[in-house]
Amino acid sequence: MSEKSRDADLLARIRAGDKSACEDCVQRHAPGIYRLALRLMRNEAEAEDVMQETFLNAFKAIDRFDGRSELLTWLYRIAYNAAMARLRRRQPESISVEDAADPQDGSLVPKELFDWSSLPERELEKAELRAEMEKAVLDLPEKLRAVFVMREMEDLSTEAVAEALGIKSDLVKTRLHRARLGLRERLSTYFAHEMPKNRE
């Protein structure tokens, strides 16, 4: 059974009041929702609250889910909205810093040109690198972070991310590109510092 038809089956069973289907849904999707919430909230306790809110709201509103998007995409949308509402409450005066990261202003023009591209994937076994990579994601502006996490780390399609965030696919691509450039710069700086002897 494909992922899509498995979710369709799950949806029908949840709507029919089958509690085991709710449990299946949580088993399948809670880890991804939790990772998204954790990376958006940057706080374990708040990520837990967002995840709980997501499933409570989803099961409550399951009859209103029209099935046009996939179940997972719908859950991501609920989670994203719950996280954003909390972040707005936390910092009501804050404004998005996305504009400040617009490549038009030159801030995303690559600066660090240290070549670390031949590093093997086994570098990822190093806890320090993994921590730096996670931290770099957390330091991205919220809107770029949401796109990057969903698209690159949770492997949603561009269209699914667009649906989850309620934005156009072109904007998903633009934000993904900005996020990637920002992370490239960050990792390049990290490796340039970590491997100074290898510099030209």
Partner 1 sequence: MAHDNCCHLLNDLSDFLDGEASEEICAKISEHMAGCKKCRVVVDTLRKTITFYRQLPDPEMPGAIQERLYKVLDLSEFTRKNGVGPR
Residues that bind partner 1 (CB under 8 A): 19-20, 22-23, 26-27, 30-31, 34-35, 38, 44, 48, 51-52, 55-56, 59, 103, 108-111, 113-117, 119, 121, 123-124, 130, 133-134, 137, 148, 152-153, 155, 173, 176-177, 180-181, 183-184, 187-188
| Pair 184, 177: CB distance under 8 Å | no
- Least distance in Å: CB of 126 to partner 1? 11
Is 50 exposed, middle or buried, given 0-12, 13-18 or 19+ CB atoms closer than 10 A?
Answer: buried
CB 11 within 8 A of CB 67: yes
Residue 38: HSE in the Cβ half-sphere, 13 Å Cα cutoff: 11
**Shortest Å distance, C-beta 115 to partner 1:** 5
Q: Between 80 and 114, name the residue whose CB sits nearer to partner 1.
A: 114
132 vs 142, which CB is nearer to partner 1? 132
For residue 191, the minimal CB distance to partner 1 (Å) is 9
Q: Which is nearer to partner 1, 136 or 165 (CB)?
A: 136
Which residue, 88 or 189, has its beta carbon nearer to partner 1?
189
CB of 93 to partner 1, least distance (A): 30
Which of 88, 130 has the CB closer to partner 1? 130
CA dihedral 69, 71, 76, 81 (to 10 degrees): 70
In angstroms, the CA 120 to CA 68 distance is: 41
Q: Are 58 and 75 in contact (CB under 8 A)?
A: yes
- Sequence letter at residue 78: I
Quote the least distance from Cβ 63 to partner 1, whole Å.
17
How far apart are alpha carbons 95 and 21 in whole angstroms? 40
